């Protein structure tokens, strides 16, 4: 318990210092030059799509209006069984083209390549179903530019997010090989034609709770870890990678959490080849995504995440406490294994023991109650600090009312949300033991009005 408090507290402090430094920095001027310069490196945006018919149009529309000097959008239709491809063909007036694909990574067969006659930099790859990792690898093969960004088909990106996420890469002369931005929850926001018109909060506590969770994870954990090049996740919803180094590392692997696995592999490669390369996280660029708004789908998501986490850790278990891998081996890997992966199990055992103890009377009631209140307050302080960081860095939630709701809901976390996620994650562990694989389905409602 104490270790967890110290670790989280440490990360929070690092994040505070970093974010405070940038607080109130002008939102436009630092990026003007990147936007106008012909030396800004072009980027390929890869959007894997499997049965994304509902959300894909809005998502692509948001990509067509981003502020970036030169980019291409490659949508990879990964053998969808719905009308994703047909919708793209009619909406963007696609025509079939001949294009040479540089096969640097192995993928399932490409059935056809299409180009939009309205937007020449919009390309659609139609391929046989091979999973998200396979789709992304196909996208990498087809891409023209030195950097690529993987983006989920159901997310909406803010217009200047690419400038912000690529700034550190460009200014580091390629020393930074991957850079991730923040992901926020779109439920409750008004989105039209792929642009966030007004930011709001959903009225479902389960979604608000996830908003707080995202704020916390992104603002505290990742800024703290990024500072010391310990970052193990560049979010699957929004991250930019150097193509050369991803290919060198072997591209995406077929696993549940392919985004995290790739980042761990990049870290591993950096250490093994003794390269002077970094992976960073930039809190400000924001990508909005649809969060599950029912217990059923949230449970599936969390179980999947937990299996994904274990997959990555297991694949790279060699790194754990291996002096060759330095801080990744001694800090990041143990952190993700003991705190993120095993934590829920220990917590669940704690809950069970507590309940048993209350019934058998072997526990001092006041003592238990006080401990409970303490954990409640501690969790809340952590969430509130994340809200404070949000205020200092981005101020995305404009109204005082939003902030009061976030606070009140965060107070209830320990009572229901936390135990639920703990149980789901332990369920994920159990499923993993019995070898369950695959994604589990999530029904998309689509975040944008067409």
Partner 1 sequence: MIEISLAALFIVFIALLFLLVSIFFYLFVKKYFNNQTRMEIFQLKEDYQLDMFHYLQTGNGEWLNSSLNQEQLIALMELLTEYSNVLDGPVVEDRIREFADKYLTSFIKKELKKGRWSLRMNALYAIEGLYMKQLIPSVHALYKKRRTTIAEKSQIVKLLARFHDPQVPQYLKDIHEDLSNFSLLSIVSNLEEKTLDELIENFNELSKKLQYVVIDTIGKKQLTHHHMLLHRLLSEDDEELRIRSLKAYANSGLPIDTNLLAAFFESDNWQVRMMAAKVTGVERIERFKLQLIYLLSDREYIVRSEAAKSILRFRDGEGILTMVVDQTKDLFAKDMAIEWLEKERNNHSY
Question: Judged by CB, which is closer to partner 1: 399, or 437?
Answer: 399
Are the C-beta atoms of residues 278 and 436 closer than 8 Å to each other?
no
DSSP 3: H
CA distance linking residue 15 with residue 196, whole number of Å: 27
CA distance linking residue 381 with residue 374, whole number of Å: 10
Question: Judged by CB, which is closer to partner 1: 64, or 253?
Answer: 64
CA distance linking residue 165 with residue 71, whole number of Å: 14
Question: Judged by CB, which is closer to partner 1: 68, or 310?
Answer: 68
Question: Judged by CB, which is closer to partner 1: 13, or 449?
Answer: 13
- Which stretches within 316-361 are classed as H helix? 326-327, 333-334, 343-360
Tally of CB atoms within 10 A around 401: 11
The least distance separating partner 1 from the CB of residue 114, rounded to whole angstroms, comes to 13
Q: Applying CB under 8 A, which residues contact partner 1?
A: 20-26, 28-30, 32-33, 37-40, 72, 97-100, 102, 115, 120-121, 170-173, 364, 366-367, 370-371, 373-374, 377-378, 380-381, 384-385, 387-388, 391, 395, 398-400, 403-404, 407
The least distance separating partner 1 from the CB of residue 208, rounded to whole angstroms, comes to 16
Question: Judged by CB, which is closer to partner 1: 145, or 245?
Answer: 145
The least distance separating partner 1 from the CB of residue 369, rounded to whole angstroms, comes to 10
The least distance separating partner 1 from the CB of residue 8, rounded to whole angstroms, comes to 14
CA distance linking residue 151 with residue 385, whole number of Å: 29
Pairing between β-strand 176-185 and β-strand 238-242 as defined by DSSP bridges: antiparallel
The least distance separating partner 1 from the CB of residue 39, rounded to whole angstroms, comes to 5
CA distance linking residue 388 with residue 390, whole number of Å: 5
The least distance separating partner 1 from the CB of residue 98, rounded to whole angstroms, comes to 5
Instruction: Tokens for 388, please give them.
Output: 């404070």
DSSP 32: H
The least distance separating partner 1 from the CB of residue 339, rounded to whole angstroms, comes to 21
Question: Judged by CB, which is closer to partner 1: 169, or 313?
Answer: 169
CA distance linking residue 250 with residue 256, whole number of Å: 17
Question: Judged by CB, which is closer to partner 1: 102, or 437?
Answer: 102
Question: Judged by CB, which is closer to partner 1: 108, or 121?
Answer: 121
The least distance separating partner 1 from the CB of residue 377, rounded to whole angstroms, comes to 5
Question: Which own/partner contact pairs does 320-329 have at CB distance under 8 Å and 24+ positions apart?
Answer: 324/271, 324/272, 325/267, 325/268, 325/271, 326/271, 327/228, 327/229, 327/230, 328/230, 328/232, 328/267, 328/268, 328/271
The least distance separating partner 1 from the CB of residue 279, rounded to whole angstroms, comes to 18
CA distance linking residue 217 with residue 436, whole number of Å: 27
Tally of CB atoms within 10 A around 272: 11
Q: By three-state DSSP, how is residue 250 classified? A: coil
């Amino acid at each position: 318990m104490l270790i967890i408090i110290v670790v989280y507290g440490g990360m929070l402090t690092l994040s505070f210092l970093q974010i405070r430094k940038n607080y109130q920095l002008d939102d436009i001027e630092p990026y003007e030059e990147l936007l106008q310069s012909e030396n800004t490196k072009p980027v390929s945006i890869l959007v894997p799509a499997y049965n994304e018919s509902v959300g894909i149009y809005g998502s692509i529309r948001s990509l067509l209006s981003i502020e970036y000097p030169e980019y291409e959008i490659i949508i990879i239709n990964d053998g969808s069984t719905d009308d994703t491809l047909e919708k793209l063909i009619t909406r963007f007036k696609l025509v079939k083209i001949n294009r040479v694909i540089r096969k640097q990574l192995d993928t399932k067969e490409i059935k056809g390549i299409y180009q939009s006659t309205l937007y020449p930099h919009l390309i659609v790859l139609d391929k046989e179903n091979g999973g998200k990792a396979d789709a992304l690898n196909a996208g990498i093969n087809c891409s023209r530019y030195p950097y690529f960004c993987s983006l989920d088909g159901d997310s909406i990106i803010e217009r200047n997010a690419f400038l912000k996420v690529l700034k550190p890469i460009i200014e580091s002369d390629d020393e930074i090989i991957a850079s991730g931005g923040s992901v926020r929850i779109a439920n409750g926001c008004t989105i039209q034609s792929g642009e966030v018109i007004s930011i709001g909060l959903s009225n479902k506590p389960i979604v608000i709770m996830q908003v707080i969770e995202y704020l916390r994870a992104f603002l505290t954990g990742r800024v703290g870890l990024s500072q010391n090049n310990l970052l193990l996740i560049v979010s699957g919803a929004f991250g930019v990678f150097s193509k050369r180094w991803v290919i060198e590392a072997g591209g995406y692997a077929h696993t549940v959490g392919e985004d995290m696995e790739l980042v761990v592999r990049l870290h591993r490669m950096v250490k093994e080849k003794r390269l002077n390369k970094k992976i960073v996280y930039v809190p400000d660029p924001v990508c909005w995504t649809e969060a599950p708004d029912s217990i059923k789908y949230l449970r599936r998501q969390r179980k999947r995440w937990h299996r994904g986490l274990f997959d990555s850790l297991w694949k790279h278990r060699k790194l754990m406490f291996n002096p060759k891998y330095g801080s990744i081996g001694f800090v990041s890997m143990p952190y993700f294994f003991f705190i993120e992966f095993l934590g829920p199990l220990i917590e669940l055992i704690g809950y069970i023991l507590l309940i048993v103890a209350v019934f058998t009377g072997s526990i001092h009631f006041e003592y238990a109650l006080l401990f409970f209140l303490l954990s409640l307050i501690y969790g809340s302080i952590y969430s509130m600090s994340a809200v404070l960081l949000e205020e200092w860095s981005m101020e995305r939630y404009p109204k005082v009312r939003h902030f009061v709701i976030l606070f009140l809901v965060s107070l209830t976390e320990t009572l229901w949300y936390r135990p639920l996620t703990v149980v789901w994650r332990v369920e994920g562990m159990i499923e993993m033991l019995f070898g369950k694989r695959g994604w589990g389905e999530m029904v998309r409602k689509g975040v944008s009005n067409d």
